[in-house]
Structure 1
């Protein structure tokens, strides 16, 4: 009896993941007037597809994504230029991540734990994934 042979699929060329989790900043995003006026905490989780082999070989920061600098830029993106929607904020952050050509994709979660909801809840979160190109 013949068995079909599975054609192996190529592995994802960028399977390494660099994550920064729980990045916190004060922002004035939201559609309600008091959200814009008073602000609230936003938290962000980033996971980036980065080939870490060049940095592993060289042991040099210049050969990888500087997550310290990126974290500062993401914090500034949260703190400035208020927008209505966390969808817009998440896209802004993903665009920042993809500015580094070594980042093949960015997985961004924006948490809004103090969203104005008339119910008991622990978090509101939006997750997006954006790819280069």
Structure 2
């Protein structure tokens, strides 16, 4: 009886991991997008634009090359350059998030009788 219970628990955990990987994955299929929308209740297409993702990838590659430098001074300079690029990318992503947030606020303002209710509960 115990192996059956252990097997069932492992199957449930593995199914949960598969569902979470589908939800948080990139380049999803139509089925995966529908599952994501069903589970989280929001649109799938509000991910960061691919330009920001490609910039982040290139920065990480440059950082890897910088850490492979043999000279300490050259390594420090390369890491500083990568850090400045990261801060610029962060500023761009904040701007992107701000524009996305203003669109959501406009949609909420247009919705009739929509109020945000807190789902927190005080427990003593």
Q: TM-score, normalised by structure 1?
A: 0.24
- The answer to which structure has the higher strand fraction is 1
- The answer to which structure has the higher helix fraction is 2
Give the greater-gyration-radius structure (CA). Answer: 2
- RCO comparison, higher one (Cα < 8 Å, 6+): 1
